[in-house]
Amino acid sequence: VHIFKFFLVFRSTSVPSTIAYIYPRFLSLTEYLTEPQEPDQALAFPASLSLSSEHLDKKGVLLLENGQDMWLW
């Protein structure tokens, strides 16, 4: 049943969406909370981190997203 659901979901999605689902994006949001931003300054999208526990930090804010779900650490 799970393989059939997997096939139905990914049959209609794009390649980038499928890649994001299999290898989720891992982003650090800490700098946006610690550094003041100018009101008229555009925010740059943070670079993806490698999927590794070495980036987990008790004082940091990290986002893991796969195109369907998001998790904050």
What's CA 11's distance to the chain center, in Å?
Answer: 22
The HSE-up count of residue 71 (CA atoms within 13 Å, CB side) is 7
Distances (CA, A) of 73 to 21, 24, 66: 18, 14, 15
Q: Strand 70-72 vs strand 62-65: parallel, antiparallel, or unpaired?
A: antiparallel
- Quick check: 24 pLDDT over 80? yes
The least confident of 6-15, 21-30, 60-69 is 6-15
pTM over 0.75: no
Cβ distance 59 to 34 under 8 Å?
no
Q: What is the mean pLDDT of residues 44-50?
A: 80
